[in-house]
Amino acid sequence: MEIFSTLVSRRGALAVGGVLAVGAAEGYPSVSIPSVSLVRGGIGELAKRKGLLFGAALDVSWMNDPAMMSALDRDMTVIGVANGFNWTRTQYRPGMDLDWSQAEAVYKWARSHGKLVRGHNIIWMDEVLPPWLRNDLRHSNRANTENVMVGHVRDTFAHWRGRLIQQEVVNEPITSTGLRDTVWSRNIGESYIDLAFHAAADTDPGPLRILNQDWIEMDSKEHDGRRATLLGLLERLLKRGVPVQALGIEGHLQGEYPFSATKWRRFLDEVVGMGLKLIVTEYDVHDRGFSGNANARDVAVAALARDFLDVTLSYRECLGLVSQTWSDRYSWLTDTPAKSRGDGQALRPNPLDASYKPKLLYEAIVQAILNAPSR
């Protein structure tokens, strides 16, 4: 397990701004990377010895892929329900009872393989609401909007009572300038977050209640703004007694921006200083900002990952790491045309490639866990 550390000095391999300075594509020398070995017994068991949770999301649509399921079974101690909590999947027709069949299928597999299970977001933005509900709420008053939202949170927590270790109650509530513009913020205001967390805690106090946020990890004006906005929001919520217990750090790292360990540590100091736990919830690395062939980009991806994880996992308040997807065969980045690379090369954002072979990102995660303090 010394491939990563001997192959590249992280900061020495990256130019200013995170652009790869070693071997690349056409016009650049190639980079030869030794093979990466899988951890005997799985990364999850390695993480458990440090007191860390380690997991990945699973969507029901991937369950017919034996290689994917084998990889998850080998490396994970925690399975996240990838999309089965989305309102578009649970109540796609008006008036119907919530349909938990997709999430239940993931849960059944996970528990039968000895995995803990965590829930994904409940309250999010307008685009992930069923169209019929989005239209209804667009013309709704505050009282009715509150009833709909609180009822949904309560129904969700009641259905899963006693079965989940964590639940993302509110997802991505802010931008760099304030609250995200959603039907919840328009019709209710910031207190929609209060209502959602109180409803969750009152219905089932067991799962760790998480506020989940994107675009806070990198070093840019937008990321700086979101960190500042989020800190202000968390401070106000806790002052009002809102039962938020943890910050979910999505961990969608982006090669298009640099990473500042100093800024990131300063931010995490503020969060844990409020008494909150940390959990990385949707980890991957978007390599569009790195030039070069697959091998060269893998070096840069691993370097960025290691820099981020070394800081984040150094906090004993950090409970663990959950990958958005474990293999390049399945990735929201690949499924989003706007996220594609300009040079036409396939994205490589995950620890395993599309053939389920481990990459340098896998090794970087292993080394970061080995270097993390026990908790």
The answer to whether residue 369 scores a pLDDT higher than 80 is yes
- DSSP H or E run through 105: helix 101-112
Q: How far apart are CA 371 and CA 179, in angstroms?
A: 37
Burial degree of 63 (CB within 10 A; 0-12, 13-18, 19+): middle
The answer to whether residue 32 scores a pLDDT higher than 80 is no
Q: In the chain, how many domains are there?
A: 1
Residue 108's alpha-carbon distances to 58, 100, 111, 321, in angstroms, are 12, 12, 5, 22
**Tokens of residue 265, six digits:** 């540590």
Contacts of residue 22, defined as CB under 8 A and 6 or more positions apart, other chains included, come to 8, 13, 29, 31, 292, 296, 299
The answer to whether residue 5 scores a pLDDT higher than 70 is no
Please give the distance of CA 176 from its chain centroid, rounded to a whole number.
19
Contact 75, 39 (CB under 8 A): yes
Burial degree of 50 (CB within 10 A; 0-12, 13-18, 19+): middle
CATH code where residue 286 lies: 3.20.20.80
Question: Which has more pLDDT, 25 or 294?
Answer: 294
Q: pLDDT-based confidence at 31, cuts 50/70/90?
A: low
pLDDT digits (tens, 9 = 90+) for 290-317: 999 999 999 999 999 999 999 999 999 9
The answer to whether residue 225 scores a pLDDT higher than 70 is yes
Comparing 7-11, 224-228, 299-303, the range with the smallest average pLDDT is 7-11
CB-side neighbour CA atoms (13 Å) of 257: 19
Q: What sign results for the dihedral spanned by CA atoms 228, 211, 272, 219?
A: negative
pLDDT digits (tens, 9 = 90+) for 148-176: 999 999 999 999 999 999 999 999 999 99
Q: How far apart are CA 126 and CA 129, in angstroms?
A: 5
The answer to whether residue 18 scores a pLDDT higher than 70 is no
Q: Which residues pair with 209 in a beta bridge?
A: 167
Burial degree of 246 (CB within 10 A; 0-12, 13-18, 19+): buried
The answer to whether residue 28 scores a pLDDT higher than 90 is no
pLDDT of residue 35: 84
pLDDT of residue 321: 98
Q: What is the pTM of this model?
A: 0.93
pLDDT of residue 86: 95
- Domain that residue 87 falls in: 3-371
The answer to whether residue 27 scores a pLDDT higher than 60 is no
**Tokens of residue 327, six digits:** 């293999």
pLDDT of residue 17: 33
Query: Span 19-35, mean pLDDT?
Result: 50
Q: How far apart are CA 84 and CA 89, in angstroms?
A: 6
Query: Span 106-130, mean pLDDT?
Result: 97
The answer to whether residue 13 scores a pLDDT higher than 60 is no
337-368 core/surface letters (b: 16 or more CB in 10 A; e: else): eeeebeeebebbbbbbbeebebbbbbbbbbbb
The answer to whether residue 221 scores a pLDDT higher than 70 is yes
Query: Span 34-62, mean pLDDT?
Result: 95
Burial degree of 32 (CB within 10 A; 0-12, 13-18, 19+): exposed
Q: How far apart are CA 124 and CA 144, in angstroms?
A: 17
Q: How far apart are CA 242 and CA 373, in angstroms?
A: 30
pLDDT of residue 75: 98
Query: Average per-residue pLDDT in the chain?
Result: 92
- How much of the chain, in percent, has pLDDT values that exceed 90? 91
pLDDT of residue 175: 98
pLDDT of residue 12: 38
Q: How far apart are CA 362 and CA 357, in angstroms?
A: 9
- How much of the chain, in percent, has pLDDT values that exceed 70? 91
**Tokens of residue 231, six digits:** 């800190």
Q: How far apart are CA 100 and CA 84, in angstroms?
A: 7
The answer to whether residue 15 scores a pLDDT higher than 60 is no
